Amino acid sequence: MAQNPSDTGSVSEALDGMVCNLLGAYLDSLAEGEDPGVVLAIEDAQSNCFQAAFTDDGEEQCLDAAEAFVQGHAQGYSEEGVGPIERYAIAYTGAVDIDGCYEDAIMVSFFECGMDVAYSAYVLFSHAGEGENFMWSDPEPAGEEPPLL
């Protein structure tokens, strides 16, 4: 949906597309049995995009590193041709309490300049590494969080 300047809580088509692409690649990796780690996508106003995976430490340290990357490159990442960050998304695996049982999930946080808050969502999955038997759900909202920019 297009972002309406008077509705700072809506998600633009550009942000929605970036998050969907990030989730799609993450799901593909899980289906093949890969551990993608913490994956980040940043994009400028001209849709120049950079993606990175953080895998060298524990998940919490990788998440901290991805968040620090966004904050440290708010004015752009010239080495990759990305101007000031307009939008970002960060995805990682976790677990969600569903009716008292913890289920595997991809957690994703996302934000675009002009929004009041960042949002998070999750996608449940099962049978990672089982190719055609891999299953996932539609994304579900997980709440608001402070933006990194």
Give, for 30, the enclosing helix (H) or strand (E): helix 13-31
pLDDT at 7: 53
pLDDT at 125: 98
In a domain, 121, yes or no: yes
In a domain, 65, yes or no: yes
Inter-residue contact 74 to 98 (CB < 8 Å):
no
In a domain, 3, yes or no: no
Domain count within the chain: 1
Inter-residue contact 42 to 49 (CB < 8 Å):
yes
Query: What is the full DSSP assignment across 51-82?
Result: EEEE-SS-HHHHHHHHHHHHHHTTT-BGGGTB
In a domain, 8, yes or no: no
For the chain, 149 residues long, give each residue's pLDDT as a single digit of tens. 334 444 556 899 999 999 999 999 999 999 999 999 999 999 999 999 999 999 999 999 999 999 999 999 999 999 999 999 999 999 999 999 999 999 999 999 999 999 999 999 999 999 999 989 999 999 999 999 999 99
pLDDT at 23: 97
Query: In terms of residue numbers, what domain contains 80?
Result: 13-145
Report how far residue 48's alpha carbon sits from residue 54's, in angstroms, rounded to the nearest whole number.
20
In a domain, 4, yes or no: no
In a domain, 6, yes or no: no
Report how far residue 34's alpha carbon sits from residue 138's, in angstroms, rounded to the nearest whole number.
21
Listed residue (15, 14, 6, 1) closest to 119, CA to CA:
15
pLDDT at 5: 45
Burial (CB count within 10 angstroms: exposed 0-12, middle 13-18, buried 19+), residue 25:
middle
Listed residue (63, 61, 19) closest to 43, CA to CA:
19
Report how far residue 141's alpha carbon sits from residue 54's, in angstroms, rounded to the nearest whole number.
24
In a domain, 111, yes or no: yes
